[in-house]
Structure 1
Amino acid sequence: MRNLSAEETRLFYKLRFALLAYANRHLNIIPHVTAAEQISQQLVEQVARLRDALLAHPELLERFVAENPEQLPEQELAIVASWRHHLTGDFYIMRYLKSYTVFMNAKGESHLYGVLGLIDPLEVVLGGAPLPVMVTATLLPFGNRIIYDGILMPYRVAFGGSIRASLSREYGRLKEREGIIEQLVGPSGKPQIRTSLDRRTPSRPAPDWRSVVDGIVAQTEKMRQSDTKLQGAAFGLLRAAASLAQATLQEQDAEAEAEAARRLRSVRTAMTRLEKLLYEEE
């Protein structure tokens, strides 16, 4: 299920509107609005202005938690307090998965976030727009999950094939390396990251294939003679693929990744040469 339950959604809006009404009583962004019930009657643009003003004055959240003007139970007040760990900015919406929608930072250091919808799944909110979609959003902790604050501001921009491919590669790299962040705070209300990788069943480590691959690389380097151009191209692809496999078995850092990318380009070049020769044979 990619969104909160109806009961959880009602609780979120109860807390969110109470906080926004408190902020408006101090900032007067929306004239004559002082009660939480009035917030729900405002245009989304007005609520967004109030939300932005609240983000610019984080001390108001701290005062709300300290004063507890709505006499919220401790557990509900803790949810509001956890919102000090919000994430606001531009994101790419990358995937609709079974459990949540995946957001990826559009600026700065990239991470993936599993975000739940509120009344409707985000796919419905976005009208089924093809992904990726770039939006401005505020992500909030909600217990051990992540939601958004009910306001999404999509950019009216279409991405070309090369940009979509680049974003997809970054998504795959992040998902493999660090997983999808599913939790921002722990039970204590302090930052505590949990990712999709934490749910993986530990697997037995793979054998150390380095000596085997090194041997294959050494053997393919000897395969420089061939009877036909087609054989030579196939041997060249074999050498390039073995060299790429060798690079992936090194300790991975920025330099090693750059070397693997270089060898991948060699594989593509060898594959192109082989394809051209095959088409000529036809």
Structure 2
Amino acid sequence: MTLSEEDGKLYYRLWLPLLDFVNKKYDIIRRIVCVVTENNLHMQEVKTISDKLYDNIGLIDEYLALHSELSEEHKAIILGFKNFVRGDFLLERHLKKGSVMINTENQKVYLVSGIVSSFEELFFTFPMPLLIKATLLPFKDVIITDGLFAPYAMNIGSNLKKQFKDIYTEAKAEGEIISDLNKGVVR
């Protein structure tokens, strides 16, 4: 599953100016005059900027204070980014409603949508399950990544596959699959 084309564009319309604010405030990547209009963005550079944001998540409040022109809906979406979850996830399976990602640290199970492409499309050549480093973000009523994720080059053994399959099965049976990071979470 992916966001609608309109919501995918909206995500980037909200996300890139926020990263531009962080980049300018800390002078992280000097060659980038404006993240929004830069035609040659390197993912590692964008990751460096986004890591600075996640390490200083209060920057979102500072950014919103400077941008009173944003609609209430857009402010709420950006404010929701404070409820990010960053870490290593096992991409366990793909469902019609999204892909199942299990946090390797606490075994929480998330249902995650792609922004423009589904994870099934992005990782169709990779053996499943797949270990990836990612940051999950709330967007409206679903969970997405920030678009900056990296698979680990490793094969998952059968014992570990079964362990994570059991984690998913139990979470499903208990109704504990997380599909909205904004519900009951405040930073």
Give the TM-score of the pair, scaled to structure 1: 0.62
Aligned equivalent of 1:63: 62
Q: Is the 8 A contact 1:24 1:34 kept in 2?
A: no
Which residues in structure 2 correspond to 1:139-158 (within 5 Å)? 139-158=136-155
Comparing 163-172 with 116-125, which one deviates more in the overlay?
A: 163-172
1:105 aligns with 2:112: no
Structure 1: gaps (5+ residues): 193-282
CA contact (8 A) 2:93 2:129 kept: yes
* Residue of structure 2 in register with 1:35 after alignment: 34
* Aligned match of 1:79: 77
Q: Is the 8 A contact 1:123 1:129 kept in 2?
A: no
State the match for 2:182 in structure 1: 185
Amino acid at match of 2:81: W
**Judging changes above 3 Å, is the alpha-carbon distance between structure 1 residues 117 and 40 closer, same or farther for their aligned structure 2 residues?**
farther
For residue 59 of structure 1, report the CA deviation from its aligned partner: 2.1
For residue 88 of structure 1, what is the aligned residue in structure 2? 86
Distance in 2 between residues matched to 1:64 and 1:136, nearest whole Å: 26
Deviation per CA, 1:62-93, whole angstroms, max 9, x where unpaired?
Answer: 10112217x32221111001111110111101
Structure 2: state its 5+ residue gaps: none
Q: Where do 4+ consecutive residues of structure 1 move more than 4 Å?
A: none
User: Which deviates more from structure 2 when the two are superposed, residues 168-177 or residues 12-21?
Assistant: 168-177
Letter paired with 1:82: G
Tell me which protein shows more strand as a share of its residues: 2
**Greater relative contact order (CA < 8 Å, ≥ 6 in sequence):** 2
Q: What CA deviation, in whole Å up to 9, does each residue of 1:2-50 have, x standing for no partner?
A: 0001110000001110100000011111114243423563111111111
TM-score scaled by length of structure 2: 0.92
Question: What is the Cα-based RMSD across aligned positions, in Å?
Answer: 1.7
1:221-267 CA deviation, whole Å, 9 max, x = no partner? xxxxxxxxxxxxxxxxxxxxxxxxxxxxxxxxxxxxxxxxxxxxxxx
Q: Highest Rg: 1 or 2?
A: 1
Q: How many residues align?
A: 186
CA distance in 1, matches of 2:63, 2:10: 17
